[in-house]
């Protein structure tokens, strides 16, 4: 199962903002370069994150992005729902009316349970959890380089 890039990039943006000092602003180009997100997609996804009030922006030459919420209060499941996505592993869970065998398929309940299990797990992981792991990873890289 592949996670949509919109979700992956959205999480990367939020994790990046959670790793910078509080009340700091990160430029879009800085986030793009640091998190390997094409700028075009970064700006599209950041607009969605702004609408859902995960981040805030400051315009102008010294502008950029910062978190609008405490990163420990943003679960990865929140990000998925905020970006209007589901983690349904098959389309018949997300769009049962489009499925020709919906209601008569032995797999539908299984896939629905898989989605519920995945979302349940992602509700327990916050952006702060990932930012904390990220900081450890960056520190480990610095030690290995020296």
In tens, the pLDDT along 10-22 reads: 999 999 999 999 8
Name the pTM for this structure: 0.84
Residue 30 in 3-state DSSP? helix
Distance of CA 46 to CAs 29, 82, 87, 121, 145, Å? 12, 12, 20, 25, 32
Which secondary-structure segment (H or E) carries 19? helix 5-19
53 pLDDT tier (thresholds 50, 70, 90): very high
Distance of CA 14 to CAs 53, 80, 141, 142, Å? 12, 12, 21, 22
Domains in the chain with CATH codes? 5-145 (1.10.10.10)
Cα gap 27→9, rounded to integer Å: 15
Phi, psi angle pair for 57, to nearest 5°: -130, 155
User: Does 80 or 87 have the greater pLDDT score?
Assistant: 80
């Amino acid at each position: 199962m592949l996670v949509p890039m919109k979700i992956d990039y959205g999480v990367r943006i939020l994790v990046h903002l959670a790793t910078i000092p509080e009340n700091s602003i990160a430029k879009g180009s800085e986030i793009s370069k640091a998190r390997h997100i094409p700028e075009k997609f970064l700006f599209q996804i950041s607009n969605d994150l702004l609408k859902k009030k995960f981040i805030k922006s400051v315009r102008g030459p010294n502008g950029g992005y910062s978190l609008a919420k405490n990163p420990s209060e943003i679960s990865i499941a929140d990000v998925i729902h905020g970006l209007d996505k589901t983690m349904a592993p098959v389309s018949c869970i997300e769009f049962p009316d489009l499925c020709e065998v919906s209601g008569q398929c032995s797999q539908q309940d299984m896939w629905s349970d898989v989605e519920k299990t995945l979302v349940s797990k992602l509700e327990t992981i916050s952006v702060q959890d990932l930012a904390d792991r990220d900081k450890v990873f960056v520190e480990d890289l610095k030690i290995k380089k020296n």
